A and B are shown apart, each in its own frame.
Chain A
């Protein structure tokens, strides 16, 4: 991780028409090679923040910049900018009419105008890395949830993004498949990919994060290193949130 700021969010304000504010002045700098994990209760605005970072949602105030370039929903040059920001969604959103390899090569060929040979060579290398090379010619419906999600990560990586955004990518998976997806993400983190991750997997957050950001009601409540955050949360709100993930046995023996 370097000191260079790659993705910068300043005083971000976002509201949907007719409702209260979803994001209420959020500021966050993500450094090159840093892994930031965003935690928070449902509806706190963490997914919305991620969607704003990719220009999928418009925002009303503040700014988001990638290497100094402004990211907005209808901004100029957004197709070029989005190529530098990979995003993986919660639902398995592979293109069902294309094979796995075609899913991965579609955007490199059509958007980046790379040659078919080069794109599919890289797609195969990436698929190999996540252990799915043998699935390159099948259709998404033939894969399990975890496999689809790994392909979705590969599809985003094939565009050579500078930042990767993960929006609760394991939330819709069976417990046994969560691991294989998280392992891929840990591997990326080790290689120095800049990542912003929204997740409910606390153990993973602790293992992968350089920094944990806790959001509640549209504002950043706490920001700390993972060990600090999980062991000694500074705010009551964060402590209460963490408590919902621990259980005490109700059974008395004997």
Chain B
């Protein structure tokens, strides 16, 4: 492996990492919002909406992200909706991530024993107070590992956006391999950059997870 080439590639990969990070952050943030909304609809079994959410979740979890991305980027313009590459990438990530986040959050909400709600209600708490002070704090502790696993999963899934010529890490690596035939160096940089992004997330999550457990959550 040639060190000079690695150094030459560094700024290119750094720039691409920014693209990957931007799409990841936007996609994850909106996924969490969509997930919260969907999980609450499911948890409270709101009629009609919860059926719609169920269809969305099955559709989203049982189709590959590449297919979803192609559908949004190549399919939607045919019916008059055309977005920029970045928007398409974020929307695709949210379409995938929203359902995973929803399931992770819902499993936390449902892990809280019904008698917890009942005893809060019998203390005179309003439905909002029951959620805010009793259900959500306990649900968060249960959901946390799954939510973080989804965050890692979604960052990795962003590599798919190279398929619509968005200059993320994956795209730059493929581009450099095609141009310069420096396959080893390009792949090495690719792996390193994903590790640089993902390892801290994983480490932080395991620390946070332990903290949450020690703080007295759970039985």
Residues on A close to B: CB < 8 A?
54, 56, 79-80, 82-83, 85-87, 89, 91, 93, 95-97, 99, 106-107, 110-112, 139, 141, 152, 155-156, 159
Interface segment, B33-41, B111-119, B186-194? B111-119
> In chain B, residues 136-153, which have Cβ atoms closer than 8 Å to a Cβ of chain A?
137-138, 141
- Expressed in whole angstroms, the Cα–Cα distance for A93 and B118 within the complex equals 9
Contact-residue bracket for chain B: 20 to 34
**Cβ-closest chain B residue relative to A138:** B216
Question: Which secondary structure characterizes the binding site on chain B?
Answer: helix
Asked if A97 and B141 make an inter-chain contact with CB atoms under 8 angstroms apart, the answer reads: yes
Asked if A82 and B121 make an inter-chain contact with CB atoms under 8 angstroms apart, the answer reads: yes
- Which chain A positions have C-beta within 8 A of B122? 54, 56, 82, 85-87, 156
Most chain B beta-carbon contacts within 10 A, residue among A87, A97, A111 = A97
Asked if B219 and A96 make an inter-chain contact with CB atoms under 8 angstroms apart, the answer reads: yes
Is B77 an interface residue when CB atoms closer than 8 A count as contact?
A: no
Asked if A110 and B125 make an inter-chain contact with CB atoms under 8 angstroms apart, the answer reads: yes
Residues on B close to A: CB < 8 A?
113, 115-116, 118-126, 129, 133-134, 137-138, 141, 215-219
- Expressed in whole angstroms, the Cα–Cα distance for A107 and B124 within the complex equals 8
- Expressed in whole angstroms, the Cα–Cα distance for A110 and B123 within the complex equals 10
Q: Of the candidates A91, A96, A111, which one forms a contact with B123 in the assembled complex, judged by CB atoms under 8 Å apart?
A: A111
Q: Of the candidates A111, A152, A155, which one forms a contact with B125 in the assembled complex, judged by CB atoms under 8 Å apart?
A: A111
- Expressed in whole angstroms, the Cα–Cα distance for A117 and B187 within the complex equals 61
Asked if B133 and A91 make an inter-chain contact with CB atoms under 8 angstroms apart, the answer reads: no
Asked if B129 and A110 make an inter-chain contact with CB atoms under 8 angstroms apart, the answer reads: yes
Asked if A93 and B124 make an inter-chain contact with CB atoms under 8 angstroms apart, the answer reads: no
What is the minimal beta-carbon distance from B216 to any residue of chain A, in angstroms? 4
